Structure 1
Amino acid sequence: MLDLKMRGSSCVLMSVLLMIADGLIVKGPSGPLVAPLGSSVVLPCSVHELLSVKDLEVEWRRTDSETLVHLYQDGESRTESQQQDYQDRAHFFTDQIQHGNFSLRLDDLRAEDEGQYKCKVYIQQESGETVVQIKVNAERLRVSGTSRSISASVGEDVTLNCSVDSHIPPGDFEEVTWTKTDEDIQVLLYQDNEAHSSNERYRDRVELFPSEIPKGNFSLRLKSVRTEDKGVYMCQVFAGGLSANATVVLDQLGFSVVHIMMLILCISASGSGLLLFCLIYCRSPTK
């Protein structure tokens, strides 16, 4: 009898494990997103690793009405399928989808945007989902970044813009975080009038502009850009009980003019050395 109970328990446990294994784990935020009217807000949705984009489909819908907010299908964003209220306001980070990042940026936040949104991901025979809740704050705290992608050269410094478009007293800035959203890495934290980075990759390479902070300018200077720095960065500001964020895309990383010149010199030097060796060899007397 005991043996039968143990076998039954094992079967139940195995079934649960198989259900977990079959499901696709989709990550979302740890809590509600609070944003003011008129701002832009990023609704996080991602998978740990995207092995293939074949048969990939991503749906963002309102949970209260099943309204289609945005759709990614057949390798592209289907803007024509969006509900009219979200056209030109809801956007994917299309260059990040291949990395498993299906986050949605919703611009010009309205009072009626408050509610729950479901991100459902279909990959071949698997599917998974996460739910994101937006709470709209009637008070305005607007944070702006850069609307266009920023290009940079490897080894150079670059500035990622982030500024607060409101009359917030400097003492009301509680916290500012810079995060690399496509990898979920905290790049820099500003708190208690101090800025620091706990991530080894960005330590001693990122800083704010102290003289600009009282003006609401929390732009980030990223030093000695590397190829792995490419991606989406989010600046989130907490002030006076409000919070808002803005995103900046760092793209098109290439080699600087200095790097290219050094490469040309190295190639030239190698060619000259080889030519000199050939001349010496040719002039040497044969035995």
Structure 2
Amino acid sequence: MYVKCIVVAILLVVADGFTVRGPSAPLVAPLGSSLVLPCFVDKPLPVKGLEVEWRRTDSETLVHLFLEGESRPEVQQQDYQDRAHFFTDQIQHGNFSLRLDNLTAEDEGNYTCKVYSQQDSGETEVQIKDVERLLVSGSSRSMSAYDGEDVTLNCSIDSHIKPEHIEEVSWSKTDEDEDIPVLLFLNNETFPQDDQYRDRVEFFTDEIPKGNFSLRLKSVRIEDKGVYICQVFAGVLSANTTVLLERLGESTKHGKINNAVC
């Protein structure tokens, strides 16, 4: 009888054991989006006595806590309040995944999901490797050109987002109280916009696969002077850069330049 009791006790411990599982690879998501950090067990656990704790591995910051049958947002670290959520209706099924909203660059790093039951505990680690940024760069100085010359207004995507994921690039000119559309790249096609720029603006087509959406403006006129905006859209991401075009003097038929600033 004594031996049988020992065997039964061991079987109960094994039966209550569980394995905590997470993702098989680091997670990547766009800046500002929502991301699910997977954490689940191989069998449902009784909610009574269950505790699930999400923390930053590097700092031990408490991201979220499930305790005594409910989520406990009041104990979250402030940076994660209103941003980190359990799927509460899934906890009874052994799913302790966390949804993290409005991703920031500071969210990159390692997270630990620890699960405690009355009989056992386990954990898994989740890594947010890259929060995708959309960085758009232009010219660090103003551009200038003479009457009738061509000028290039720079706009390049400085990120690891592939050019084929760029949905739209629009060039416009800020003119007092309105923005004048200049040139549009949409669904891999180019569309000239305002009539004053028709046949005078173009992308460098061969450079687009490299993330270069610079604009060539031909036959510069006095009314072209001003601020140009290059706006880039990729999924939930968007970013822009501005370029100032200054027009200097006029060219003569003999190639001499009038250096007066207009």
Could you tell me the TM-score, scaled by structure 1's length?
Answer: 0.44
User: Relative to total residues, which structure has the larger strand share, 1 or 2?
Assistant: 2
Could you tell me the TM-score, scaled by structure 2's length?
Answer: 0.47
